[in-house]
């Protein structure tokens, strides 16, 4: 039965950053250092641990079977180093030569299925369009993730309704089967949505992050500047006076292309920003002041190095405050306070609740700053930048 399988399965508790959780010594959730150390929960216990409300939206349940399958699938799809030989420049397409070392791991599906020559002519590649495509996809991932989260939430509510319907009504066999079919369809729909969320997560961890989006936008700007570049003569300055230069020309390597520009609207918006007057001066917050870029890079590295643990610390602080509030409320039930004592307890509760609100705001702010970033990769990049800046001072 699908309903029984949901309850009998074992689950990991995972947050939006892909961190696995386990139970601490004081019976609270805490981040596990690796997946092998993560806690294993049944369906009911996992939902009790996550709780409800705003806190619950940062967590999700991952079935152990799904987790093992997804990890093995991802590992099998990681391309190994391929020995590719590109023939002389005028050829029409790149040819991929297979070796016994790589097999089919790095060969596209079209080539594996029909053993055809790859239809990639890099001379026809519109690099600006390719980079704009990447920026467009990554910039809209957040909305897509929100839609998937809503799909999972809707499926969970439907599954809950169906399970209660089965539990509370005495159904005959002929009326039970349509309900079970609906329950199975909801489970499959939910699994598809969770799998898609996992694919997006791995795409974001590999290349789909804001750091690479910034690099892609900078690359687009530099490519577009080729259209307005001018030659500055080395020696024969008089030869170039009085005659306007051609600032752009057609790329002779390109042939007529019949592909449609699907992202024309997004591309035109980006080009408006790129095609601004290149040497127009605009004041920034860094103009007219002494900027310590080494200190700035150090602060960035320290932030990304400590942000994940600080998020964990804030979560633990909130849990401790909740425990203190529960303890005070429990003591109030059997106590007989006078006015002064009651006011003292009220003030203590008020202070705890205000402190909890502050921690929640800070936690949400840090999560916003780290969302979409691989903190470990950002720390490594910032440390590299810091070393390069320090070399300049030597």
Distances (CA, A) of 393 to 181, 267, 288, 388, 389: 69, 40, 21, 9, 7
**pTM assigned to the model:** 0.38
> Hey, which residues does 11 pair with through a beta bridge?
41, 63
Tokens of 115: 């053993």
Q: What is the pLDDT along the chain (394 residues), one digit of tens a residue?
A: 444 555 567 888 887 667 788 887 777 787 887 777 788 888 778 877 887 666 666 777 887 765 554 444 444 444 443 333 333 333 333 343 443 344 444 445 544 444 444 445 667 778 888 888 888 888 888 888 889 999 999 999 999 998 988 888 888 888 888 888 899 999 999 999 999 999 998 898 888 888 888 888 888 888 888 877 777 788 887 787 776 766 655 555 544 444 444 445 555 555 555 444 445 778 888 888 888 888 888 898 899 899 989 999 999 999 999 888 888 888 877 777 777 877 888 888 889 989 999 999 999 888 888 877 778 888 888 888 888 888 887 5
Record the tokens describing residue 273, joined without a space. 């920003």
- In whole angstroms, what is the distance from residue 134 CA to residue 214 CA? 11
Convert 375-385 to b/e letters by CB count within 10 Å (16 or more is b): beebbebbbeb
Two structure tokens written together for 268: 């035109």
53: DSSP letter: S
What is the tally of helices (H) and strands (E) in the chain?
12, 5
Q: What pLDDT shows up at residue 394?
A: 56
Rounded CA gap, 145 and 193, in Å? 10
Cα 324 to Cα 304: distance, rounded to the nearest angstrom? 31
CA atoms within 13 A on the CB side of 33: 0
């Amino acid at each position: 039965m699908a309903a029984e399988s949901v309850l009998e399965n074992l689950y990991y508790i995972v947050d939006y950053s892909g961190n696995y959780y386990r139970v601490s010594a004081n019976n609270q959730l805490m981040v596990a250092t690796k997946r092998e150390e993560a806690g294993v929960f049944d369906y009911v216990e996992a939902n009790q641990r996550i709780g409800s409300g705003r806190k619950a939206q940062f967590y999700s349940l991952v079935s152990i079977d799904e987790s093992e399958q997804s990890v093995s699938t991802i590992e099998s799809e990681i391309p190994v180093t391929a020995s590719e030989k590109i023939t002389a420049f005028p050829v029409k397409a790149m040819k991929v030569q297979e070796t016994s070392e790589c097999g089919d791991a790095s060969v596209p599906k079209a080539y594996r299925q029909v053993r055809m020559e790859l239809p990639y002519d890099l001379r026809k590649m519109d690099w600006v369009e390719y980079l704009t495509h990447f920026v467009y996809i990554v910039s809209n991932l957040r909305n897509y993730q929100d839609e998937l989260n809503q799909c999972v939430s809707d499926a969970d509510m439907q599954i809950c309704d169906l399970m209660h319907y089965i539990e509370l009504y005495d159904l005959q066999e002929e009326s039970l089967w349509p309900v079970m079919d609906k329950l199975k369809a909801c489970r499959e729909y939910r699994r598809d949505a969770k799998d898609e969320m996992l694919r997006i997560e791995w795409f974001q961890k590999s290349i789909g992050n804001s750091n690479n989006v910034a690099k892609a936008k900078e690359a687009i700007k530099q490519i577009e500047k080729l259209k307005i570049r001018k030659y500055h003569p080395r020696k024969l300055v008089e030869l170039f006076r009085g005659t306007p230069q051609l600032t752009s020309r057609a790329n002779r390597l390109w042939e007529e292309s019949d592909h449609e520009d699907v992202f024309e609207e997004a591309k035109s918006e980006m080009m408006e920003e790129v095609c601004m007057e290149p040497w127009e001066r605009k004041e920034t917050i860094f103009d007219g002041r002494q900027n310590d870029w080494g200190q700035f890079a150090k602060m960035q590295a320290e932030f990304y190095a400590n942000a994940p643990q600080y998020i964990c610390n804030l979560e633990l602080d909130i849990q401790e405050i909740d425990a203190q509030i529960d303890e005070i409320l429990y003591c109030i039930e059997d106590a007989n306070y006078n006015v002064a004592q009651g006011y003292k307890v009220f003030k203590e509760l008020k202070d705890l609740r205000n402190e909890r609100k502050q921690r929640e705001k800070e936690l949400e702010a840090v999560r916003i700053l780290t969302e979409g970033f691989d903190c470990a990769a950002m720390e490594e990049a910032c440390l590299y930048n810091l070393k390069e800046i320090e070399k300049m001072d030597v």
